[in-house]
Every structure is written in C-alpha cells, then in structure tokens.
C-alpha cells in the first residue's frame, strides 16, 4: 500500500503545538529553500533534552506515529523521551505522511550545531526552523547516498547563486 501524502504543515504544526524544539532537514529543507523537486517525507532533527523528547513523544502519540516498514500501516511502538533517544534515527508513518527523525544528520553535530545557522519561516500560521541550505548541502554530501548525489549539483548551484531563504534565526 502507498504511504499517505505528505501534509508537512499539519505534521510540523503538531510538533509546534506540543512545544517541540526541532528543525527541518533533508529534502523538505531543500524544497523550502526553493529547490524545484518534490519530497515524500519530512525529516527533522530535535533538540535532545529530556523535556523536549517528552514533548516529541506526546506529539508522536497525537500523530498516531508508527514505525514505517514500507507496509501500511506500519508497526505500533511504545515510546517516551528515553526510548526515542535510544535510536539515533526513526522512520515513522503518520496520518500526515512519512516522518524521519535524525538526531545527528550526516556531517553534523545535530541540533545544537544546525540551529546556529537555521532559518525560521512561517507556513500557514506554523513557524518552524529550517536547516540552512549550506548545512543541507554539507549533510547530503556527507551521507553520500545515490539519491543525494543526484540533487547535490542543483543545491550547490542554488547556494552559489544565493538562492535560499533569508537568514533570520533568533
């Protein structure tokens, strides 16, 4: 079965409503910076404090998040702040689409590193942080996956031409 279409605004809005500190990374970050391609999932890096991960766990419960196996509806799982931290990457399915959580994206030191250069945007009343285009490029380059290698020339050109969101991190 096919995964649900991505509704990133609703997905990210749920994280925001729960007060989760996170930033968008990966393909969706590239798209938000203006890359002209589509993505089927939302990738985020959360801040790792116990309080923040407890809020993330509550948001995941509201989203009815399940472990994505490639088969709908995915596997149910119990989680809390500690168990979320135990795996460094989560591939989840929600009613609003696929959600990948990565605590330390390739080539980065995670949230504390990425938030320094993040850009804050608002979409449909939802305000959230997006990794800088330079960090997206660096991470995709460090990951070295075929799918990343295919988009890197375009992202590097965008970076060289200054095509990206304005930096207004708080």
Per-residue pLDDT of the chain (170 residues; tens, 9 = 90+): 567 899 999 999 999 999 999 999 999 999 999 999 889 999 999 999 999 999 999 999 999 999 999 877 899 999 999 999 999 999 999 999 999 999 999 999 999 999 999 999 999 999 999 999 999 999 999 999 999 999 999 999 999 998 877 655 44
- The boundaries of the domain holding residue 92 are 8-160
Strand ranges, E, within 81-151? 89-94, 97-102, 119-123, 126-130
Is position 73 within any domain? yes
Contact 55, 20 (CB under 8 A): yes
Alpha-carbon gap, residue 82 to 91, rounded angstroms: 17
Structure tokens at 27: 């393909």
Q: Are 12 and 128 in contact (CB under 8 A)?
A: yes
CATH assignment at residue 115: 3.30.460.40
Q: What pTM, to 2 d.p., does this model score?
A: 0.93
The answer to whether position 2 is within a domain reads no
Task: Please indicate, yes or no, if residue 167 is contained in any of the structural domains.
Answer: no
Position 19 in a domain = yes
Query: Would 166 be classed as within a structural domain?
Result: no
Number of domains in the chain: 1
Q: Cα-atom radius of gyration of the chain, to the nearest Å?
A: 15
């Amino acid at each position: 079965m096919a995964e649900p279409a991505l509704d990133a605004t609703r997905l990210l809005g749920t994280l925001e409503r729960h007060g989760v500190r996170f930033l968008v990374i990966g393909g969706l970050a590239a798209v938000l910076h203006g890359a002209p391609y589509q993505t089927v999932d939302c990738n985020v890096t959360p801040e790792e404090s116990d309080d923040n991960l407890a809020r993330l766990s509550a948001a995941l419960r509201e989203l009815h998040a399940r472990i994505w196996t490639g088969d709908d509806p995915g596997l149910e799982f119990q989680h809390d702040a500690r168990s979320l931290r135990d795996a460094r990457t989560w591939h989840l399915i929600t009613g609003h689409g696929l959600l990948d959580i990565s605590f330390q994206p390739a080539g980065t030191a995670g949230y504390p590193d990425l938030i320094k250069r993040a850009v804050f945007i608002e979409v449909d009343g939802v305000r959230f942080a997006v990794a800088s285009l330079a960090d997206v490029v660096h991470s995709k380059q460090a990951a070295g996956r075929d799918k990343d290698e295919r988009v890197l020339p375009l992202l590097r050109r965008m970076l060289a031409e200054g095509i990206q969101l304005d930096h207004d991190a708080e």
